[in-house]
């Protein structure tokens, strides 16, 4: 595990092979000046060369820096859908952030798109199914915290 900042293409072809987000809990999402910060206080999975989970990393944060990001217009690059009883609807990003603070976002699957330079996370917040898409990502910063410090 190393703290690093990589371009989105390197993240999708190299870094993503080292880590897995599925079955992890995202507990905080914050808008930063040029993107979105994700906090995983219990860590994410370190994987082997075959994608098999080895262990949970120390607590970490991931900052997704987004091309042309404007915090006042998050919707241009960030989309959240909720699924409740076979009905799909938009969920305001601010509502998603509040729900994550309260219940955590349990990630089941992650997908990468070279076309949109994006990531898609599928999971649940409480009993609500969620699909969270972030597009036009320029680079990704991973920072692992000392286990004795809180993320």
| From 14-18, 23-27, 67-71, the region with the lowest mean pLDDT | 14-18
H-state helical runs in the chain: 8-13, 93-103
pLDDT at 151 over 60: no
Lookup: tokens for 100:
């994550």
- Report residue 18's pLDDT band, with 50, 70 and 90 as the boundaries: confident
Kindly report the number of other CB atoms within 10 A of residue 75's CB atom.
12
Mean pLDDT value of segment 114-133: 94
Q: Rounded to an integer, what distance in angstroms lies between the CA atom of residue 89 and that of residue 130?
A: 10
List Cβ neighbours of 89 (8 Å cut-off, separation of 6 or more): 81, 82
Q: Which residue has the higher pLDDT, 4 or 81?
A: 81
Q: pLDDT exceeding 90 applies to what percent of the chain?
A: 70
**d(Cα 113, Cα 118) in Å, to the nearest integer?**
5
Residue identified by tokens 């262990």 is 55
Domain ranges in the chain? 4-144
Query: What contacts 141, CB < 8 A, 6 or more positions away?
Result: 3, 4, 5, 62, 63, 65
pTM: 0.89
Mean pLDDT within 78-99: 93
């Amino acid at each position: 595990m190393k703290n690093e900042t990589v371009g989105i293409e390197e993240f999708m072809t190299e870094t993503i092979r080292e880590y897995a987000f599925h079955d992890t809990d995202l507990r905080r999402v914050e808008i930063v000046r040029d993107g979105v910060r994700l906090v995983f206080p219990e860590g994410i999975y370190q994987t082997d060369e075959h994608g098999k989970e080895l262990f949970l990393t120390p607590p970490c944060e991931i900052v997704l820096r987004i091309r042309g990001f404007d915090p006042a217009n998050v919707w241009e690059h960030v989309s959240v859908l909720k699924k409740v009883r076979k009905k799909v609807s938009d969920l305001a990003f601010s509502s998603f952030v509040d729900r994550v603070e309260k219940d955590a976002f349990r990630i089941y699957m992650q997908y990468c798109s070279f076309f949109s330079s994006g990531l898609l996370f599928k999971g649940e917040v409480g009993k609500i199914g969620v699909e969270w898409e972030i597009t036009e990502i320029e680079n990704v910063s991973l920072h692992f915290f000392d286990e004795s410090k809180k993320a």
